[in-house]
Amino acid sequence: MSKYSSSENKATRQGFGEMLVELGKENPNVVVLGVDVTPSVKTDLFQKAFPDRFFSVGISEQDMIGVAAGFYLAGKIPFTAAYGEFAAGRPFDQIRQTLAYSEIPVKICASHCGITVGQDGATHESLEDIALMRSLPHMVVASPCDYHQARKMIRASVALHNPIYIRMFRDNTPVFTKADDEFQFGKADTLIDGNDVTIIACGLQVWEAILAEEILAAEGISVRLINMHTIKPLDKEALVKAASETGAIVTAEDHQIQGGLGSAVAEILAQTIPTPQEFVAVNDTFGESGLGYELMKKYGIDSGSIVKATRKVLERKRRRDGFK
Amino acid sequence: MNKLPINELPELARQLRRDVIKMLMISKSGHSGGPLGLADIFASLYFHLMKIDPTKPTMEERDFFFLSAGHLAPIWYATLARRGYLPISELTTLRKINGRLQGHPAPAKTHGLPGIEIASGALGQGLSIGVGCALGLRLDKKPNHVYVLCGDGELNEGQIWEAMMTAGHHKVDNLICIVDRNFCQIDNRTEKVMELEPLADKWKAFNWHVLECNGNDIEQFINTVNQAKELRGKPKVILAQTFMGKGVSFMEDDYKWHGVPPSEEQGKQALGEIAPTKYGDFVEFEWEKVLVA
């Protein structure tokens, strides 16, 4: 029996769209920009509630970043919304110069991220966005694990002085955190405590990790599960503590193996406490059309893949420790 | 220095040209042609047209200025210094390590140079920023004007046309875009690299008010901006014809001066052609002292 259960399925993008309306009511300076995907990314809710503060820029993601920066300079709190590939990849240079270098705190809200966008195929499966965004100085990069966390993340983003990339998803997915759980950027959530191995996941992989833990627990393996919702700045303290206390790490993400959460974790561990680590991620390949769960399985990022990776890293840990 | 009447601006512009030449001679790196061509426009904007206060660079009532073509930085730095945003002695630090006068404008927030709202350098991004800023001001019914300066070669960038559409669509009429129409870019004349004409028609087709003027004629430029301010209902663009390298005979209208600084000999010759002014240079070179002696 898992330590977490889901009462319902709801999309992270839904939480985003609803929270924008709440913020819009509370603060007249909140403005939202759209690039012709308004119902898909759920900003239609804000558009209906505050038509004067919603601005369409047409299908022009590069322009949107600049327009958002301009709104900030005029005293506004701008949110942009687009699909992941077009939120991070298409306007990378604009985000680099106009937001990151200039430290303009625009909130880039990306929906439809990762391979689970599914049937649209590889062109729409943003599997490189974490790598792109976290390579930029001054950027905050975060990904909510469910609907409630998406809501909290959007609310907390208002106070940030840095630009932020928030990585969300299309599908209705299990809601397993609670509306009143605490949330703070840069402070990881340890969902399950354990001693043998730590699974560090972000976004939709957190639920997959919960499912994996159930299987591993039945085998007598004590898993620590961390929801690393903020990939940059990463919670170094929680990571180093987990590595020193459990001695084996599995990272899980719906992203390329290069440059994502796993890389961020490895960069810190290599410099602090080198630890055997297995990467559950898309292995240097593009995706394809299919259903989300089919693709997760085929590309090796479902709960079963996390289970296999965990067994493997435990084997490496035992070898390193000389089968103590 | 404070606001100046129109008849005093030509001498100020001449000083800005001398400043640019000396800055580039010291840094031995940077762009000559564009900055020299824009001295009259910068003098007009910062010393006559814009509502600004160098002692309160972020005051709410300020007019906003965005330099989209960041490589034109030397003329901006010289102008900001002469207007009082930074000490004129700092103009010796262009492109030097640990300095505030970065090769391309760096944001005040990180590099501390007042008067610079946001970074530029990668081309094509400034017009979008101006559009957003103008929309934000309009939302609050504020009277501030927003100015964006683009190079003509820069108009090759796709994002400019995205921003043109956005501004036209939202009828952003508190925005004035000034295009430095000098017909020169790095590789060649603009029409050889990528044909822009009929340029006025293109802006018109994107629902902009289009004005044209001689950007090296201060009075004409100021009149054109004042005319643009009065126009309502659409964003405004001023196609300002300038000469790259204006004021230096061997640089004028020659695209090869886009991105190079003058050598010492060329610099001396250039300074010989741009007569000294009552404002005085920010630095006196050794050889100048010898000449006086």
Q: What is the pLDDT of residues B163-212, one digit of tens each?
A: 999 999 999 999 999 999 999 999 999 999 999 999 999 999 999 999 99
Helices and strands (DSSP H and E) totals, chain B? 12, 5
pLDDT band at B293 (very low <50, low <70, confident <90, very high): low
8 Å CB contact of B125 and A97: yes
pLDDT at A130: 98
pLDDT band at B292 (very low <50, low <70, confident <90, very high): low
Chain A partners of B129 at a C-beta cutoff of 8 Å? 66-67, 69-70, 73, 98
Answer yes or no: CATH 3.40.50.920 is held by domain A189-320: yes
Name the residue with tokens 């030397």: B74
Average of per-residue pLDDT values in chain B? 96
pLDDT at B290: 77
8 Å CB contact of B118 and A69: yes
8 Å CB contact of A67 and B139: no
Domains of chain B with bracketed CATH: 6-289 (3.40.50.970)
Statement: residue B76 has pLDDT above 60: yes
| Closest Cα in chain A, distance from residue B69 (Å) | 13
8 Å CB contact of A62 and B158: yes
pLDDT in tens, B10-26: 999 999 999 999 999 99
* Token representation of residue B119: 């970074």
Three-state DSSP at B197 gives: coil
Neighbours of B217 (CB within 10 A): 17
ipTM tops the 0.95 cut: yes
Query: Do A228 and A252 touch, CB atoms closer than 8 A?
Result: no
B-facing residues of A in 37-56 (CB < 8 A) are 52-53, 55-56
From edge to edge, which strands make up the β-sheet containing A223-227? Answer: A189-192, A223-227, A197-201, A249-256, A277-282
8 Å CB contact of B131 and A103: no
Query: Do B237 and B204 touch, CB atoms closer than 8 A?
Result: no
A32 at B interface, C-beta within 8 A: no
Two domains, one topology: A9-174 and A189-320 = yes
Chain B partners of A97 at a C-beta cutoff of 8 Å? 119-122, 125
Neighbours of B165 (CB within 10 A): 17
What span, in angstroms and rounded, lies between the C-alpha atoms of A38 and A17? 10
Q: Name the nearest CA neighbour of A62 among A95, A106, A111, A32.
A: A95
Cα-flanking dihedrals φ and ψ of residue A56, to 5°?
Answer: -85, 135
Burial profile A24-57: b = 16 or more Cβ within 10 angstroms, e = fewer: beeeebbbbbbbebbeebbbebbbeebeebbbbb
Query: Do A187 and A230 touch, CB atoms closer than 8 A?
Result: yes
Positions of chain A with pLDDT under 50:
none
Domain range list for chain A = 9-174, 189-320
What span, in angstroms and rounded, lies between the C-alpha atoms of A84 and A125? 8
Chain B partners of A78 at a C-beta cutoff of 8 Å? 132
pLDDT in tens, B108-164: 888 889 999 999 999 999 999 999 999 999 999 999 999 999 999 999 999 999 999
8 Å CB contact of A67 and B132: yes
pLDDT at B101: 97
pLDDT at B112: 86
What span, in angstroms and rounded, lies between the C-alpha atoms of B33 and B39? 11
8 Å CB contact of A66 and B163: yes
What span, in angstroms and rounded, lies between the C-alpha atoms of B49 and A40? 45
pLDDT at B1: 75
Helices and strands (DSSP H and E) totals, chain A? 12, 14
pLDDT at A1: 55
Contact pairs from chain A to chain B, CB under 8 Å: 119
Chain A partners of B165 at a C-beta cutoff of 8 Å? 58, 60, 63
Name the residue with tokens 């010289």: B78
Q: Which of B128, B146, B165, B207 to mutate to test the interface with A (most CBs of A within 10 A)?
A: B128
* Token representation of residue A135: 């390579």
pLDDT at A324: 54
Contacts 24+ apart (CB under 8 A), A49-57: A49/A21, A49/A24, A49/A25, A50/A21, A50/A24, A52/B139, A53/A24, A53/A28, A53/B139, A55/A31, A55/B135, A55/B170, A56/B169, A57/A33, A57/B162, A57/B166
Neighbours of A68 (CB within 10 A): 32
What span, in angstroms and rounded, lies between the C-alpha atoms of A259 and B22? 45
pLDDT at B125: 98
| Closest Cα in chain A, distance from residue B293 (Å) | 47
pTM (two decimals): 0.97
Name the residue with tokens 């102008």: B79
Among the partner residues A69, A76, A96, nearest to B129 by beta-carbon distance: A69
> CATH number of the domain at A9-174, out of 3.40.50.12280, 2.60.120.330, 3.40.50.970, 3.90.190.20?
3.40.50.970
Neighbours of B155 (CB within 10 A): 24
pLDDT at A49: 98
pLDDT band at B2 (very low <50, low <70, confident <90, very high): confident
What span, in angstroms and rounded, lies between the C-alpha atoms of A204 and A210? 10
Q: Calculate the CA dihedral of residues B144, B140, B205, B239 and round it to 10 degrees.
A: 10
pLDDT at A177: 97
